[in-house]
Amino acid sequence: MAEQEFPTRYHGYNVLDKSSSPDWDDQTREVVRRRLEEVPPVRFLTAEEARTLAAIAERIIPQPDRSENEKVPIVPFIDEKLFKDEGDGYRYEELPPQREAWRLGLAGVDEAAQALFAGKSFVELDPLSQDVVLTHVARGDALGAAWKRMPAARFFKSVLCITVVKTYYSHPLAWNEIGYSGPSSPRGHVRKWEGGVDPWEAQEVR
């Protein structure tokens, strides 16, 4: 299969070019530097759980245009949140505490895969079969003991997907794709109306 290319409206844009501009202050530069250079080790998830989560993340936000070393590291930053038990400030009533929810959820994805595909784990499946498993989880009709303790659809939509997407789009590589300038402090924005673009923001190339 030929390498897949993803169109972007921001050809040649690199948000890191702004690092020495008035767009960013020292605090922002340090946060971005750590995000790029200090990827945390996996300390909470087991090796098996980490592999399962990596495979799931690859189906939610595929990165086939990047080599393994160039991909946005999603699993380590989710694991760091769980290792430190840093919550979002709220919890859904029908879900257990986040650490328990993630362990149950990842186990439940594997149980659903095994029920649908003759005992195979999620990471052993081809991408289309993985999508079938995740579709059942998203619909809330996945099989598995874990889903008797926690609603599959709620975990998938409100925890798993949101966390994967937030983690991806907190990385400068993702900012380049969408023309995001990074945190707006200290410069801020002037043209805040719909469709308004400040001169120092990325310009679309159609």
Q: pLDDT digits over 33-59, tens only?
A: 999 999 999 999 999 999 999 999 999
Model confidence, pTM = 0.89
Q: Which amino acid is at 31?
A: V
Is 103 contained in some domain? Answer: yes
Beta-bridged to residue 24, according to DSSP, are: 186
Residue 191: predicted pLDDT: 82
Task: Categorize the per-residue pLDDT at 186 as very low, low, confident or very high, splitting at 50, 70 and 90.
Answer: confident
The percentage of residues in the chain with a pLDDT greater than 90, rounded to a whole number, is: 66
Identify the pLDDT of residue 133: 98
Sign of CA dihedral 42, 120, 127, 164: negative
Rounded CA-CA distance 127/133 in Å is 10
Nearest residue to 109 via CA among 86, 75, 79, 143: 143
pLDDT at 193 over 70: yes
- Is position 27 within any domain? no
Helix spans in the chain (H): 26-37, 47-60, 74-83, 98-116, 127-139, 152-155, 161-168, 172-178
Task: With respect to residue 189, please indicate whether it lies within any of the assigned structural domains.
Answer: no
Asked if residue 195 belongs to a domain, the reply is no
Residue 1 has pLDDT above 70, yes or no: no
Is the residue at 36 inside a domain? no
DSSP string, 9-33: SSTT--GGGGTTSTTB-HHHHHHHH
Domain that holds residue 114: 42-178
Can you give the pLDDT at residue 3?
A: 41
Task: Read off the tokens for 132.
Answer: 């079938």
- Is residue 164 domain-resident? yes
Please check whether residue 206 lies inside any domain of the structure.
no
Confidence of residue 6 (pLDDT cuts 50, 70, 90): low
Q: How many domains are contained in the chain?
A: 1
Which pLDDT score, from 0 to 100, does residue 19 have?
87
Integer Cα distance of 110 and 112 in angstroms: 5
- Would you call 182 helix, strand, or coil by DSSP? coil
Decide if 33 is inside a domain.
no
pLDDT in tens, 141-164: 999 999 999 999 999 999 999 999
Per the prediction, the chain carries an average pLDDT of 91
pLDDT of 205 over the 90 cut: no
